[in-house]
Amino acid sequence: MYYGFDLGGSKIEVGVFDADMRSVWQKRVPTPRNDYDALLSAFVALTQEADALTGKLGTVGVGIPGMRGGDDGALFTANLPATMGKPLQVDLQRLLQRDVRMTNDANCFALSEAWEGEFRQYPVVLGLILGTGVGGGLVINGEVIDGRNGITGEFGHFRLPVDALDIMGEGIPRVKCGCGQSGCIENYISGRGFEWLYAHTYGENLNAVTIIRHYRAGEANALAHVDRYMSVLAACVGNLLTMFDPHLLVLGGGLSNFDEIYQFLPARLPEYLLPVARLPRIEKARYGDAGGVRGAALLHFSAQ
């Protein structure tokens, strides 16, 4: 049996899957945000409950809201104080007496999608999350690529390309990012960035749902804004496609539900690609919120 844990700022969710990746059992408990020992105890309790339910010692994979920094496995989880700087993987392996595999939750999203039945045919899968921020993961032949520092999927911290600056204007503010740098693309193409760009241009604070509703009603500012945003998005995504050359691009996060993206993005991307480049297949994520636990469970499944 395969156990996948999705560790978040408010909840720990476990999903149990059989050999065909069919969901057998799921459970959520609140995350002890400021108590590391309590958080470890929660993992142990959930694992023991799953073991008792299945009658087996299942494999354990964990998706974390951050990354493993350095050679000692200490976590960088800015929004989860309990695990910041802690060797969570090492401690869980000691307590659970089994191999524990761990990666960023966005990597779990990408892995879950790459192992979707219809998508398994693609050797290189790029997952891109357009939510509050921008993140994602790279999966090659069914395996997550973590990289030297576990930051392979931190696409949101690429800097704005010159094409995006041309579209938005050279005077566009270089927004300060939570990473400490300025000009990271997530501040412009995320859901939050979509709203910021509208407010910057038109001086009115509207949420994404309202802007999209205005767009579909034919309101002039919203039409111009979506046109501008889609060009900026294409310029940024074009760099990712040139770097990784995926066969499949899967979009997740709130803006992935803006269905017009799947018309506009393929139409605009060729302008930002090499002349010989063929577009990947571009699809909306199949698993949504369930992808986290499923992808974490697949950290073991895919390695076999």
Binding residues for Zn(2+): 157, 177, 179, 184
Token duo for residue 58: 């299942």
User: Residues annotated as binding site?
Assistant: 4-11, 133-140, 157, 177, 179, 184
How many Å apart are CA 230 and CA 213, to the nearest integer?
16
Binding-site annotation: residue ranges for ATP? 4-11, 133-140
Closest to 299 measured CA to CA, from 74, 170, 114: 114
* Beta carbons within 8 Å of 113's beta carbon, 6+ residues apart: 119, 125, 127, 250, 252, 285, 286, 287, 291, 295
